[in-house]
Structure formats: C-alpha cells, structure tokens
Amino acid sequence: KRRDIDMHRFLWQPKTGTFNDFDFTRHRSSTYVYISSLYPLWAGVATREEAAKMESTLSLIERKGGLMMSDTNTGLQWDDPYGWAPTNWIAVSGLDTYQFHDDAKRISQNFTATVDRGLATDGTIREKYNMEGDSQKVQVAIGYKSNEVGFGWTNSVYLKMKELVSGKE
C-alpha cells in the first residue's frame, strides 16, 4: 500500500500521462521518455484512467520494429533506436492486462517480425534490435557495442508474443 501511494506521489505525471523516474537529490521528476514508464501497467498499479493516458503516449517510443528504449538518441544501447525483448514484453504484457489488446498484438507482431527478419538475414536471434530500422543491425556509439547472439530472453519473449498474437495464451 505504501509503495503504491509513493509511486503515485513521486512518479505519476498527469500532464504527460507517464510514470517517470524521480531525482530525490534535486527533488524533481525526469522528463526523459523511457520504456519503463509503461512498467506500472505490468505491475498492475496504474488506475484505469492512468493506463489510458499511458497508452496514448505509445507513439513516443513505438516504431516499425517495436518499442524503443527511449525517445532520445544518445548513442547508447539503452536509448533510441534500440529495443530489447524483455522491456518490450513487460510493456506488451501490461498493455494486454489493461485490455489494450490491439496495441499489445500490434507491438508483438512488429517485434516478432523484426526478429524474423534478423533470423532470415544471418541465421541468428540477437540480444537487441534496431526498432526504427526493424533489424538486428546496431551501431552503438558509446559503451558496450556488441549485439550478442542467442539470447534466451529474446527466444522466450518471441514465443510469448507469438502466443499473444495467435490467442493461444
């Protein structure tokens, strides 16, 4: 109960319709649009009204290949244009739980199609994908630059998204 109260007090931003990080040192909310703002749907802590506002912000991070990590291109792997299977699944699962089935299916179809294209291109399933280019090609400018092959989380998320799309959950 206390966690729910504090999440709404410090993280919920009604003007933007998002749950944002909060900087307790500077006493202010982040303005950075990030995929984790959708996590309260997965955790079941958003009200129905909050969920509707959150759903309306999808266009900020949704691209042809799925959901990007953020709307800011910093050159880091955890930002635009890259997307990761676990974060896409948490968002999709939350959307589906709150009855945004069309959004959940569309994002799942786009993400699995991106994985399929990568598999057809080089025979691999990768750690992360380029959501704007809907491919496994990544060019991270700063920090960890590889795109590892054979990630179990991508495999399992791919299967869960295929189940969601087919209605066989």
Distance of CA 124 to the CA centre of its chain: 22
Give the Cα separation of 77 and 69 in Å (integer): 9
Question: How high is the mean pLDDT in each 10-residue block of the chain (169 residues)?
Answer: 92 94 92 93 96 97 97 93 97 98 98 96 94 89 87 94 89
Task: Dump strand ranges (E) for 4-93.
Answer: 12-13, 18-19, 22-23, 28-29, 62-63, 66-67, 82-84
Which element (helix H / strand E) includes 130?
strand 128-130
Question: Rounded to two decimals, what is the model's pTM?
Answer: 0.94
Specify the pLDDT at position 134: 79
Specify the pLDDT at position 169: 62
Specify the pLDDT at position 16: 92
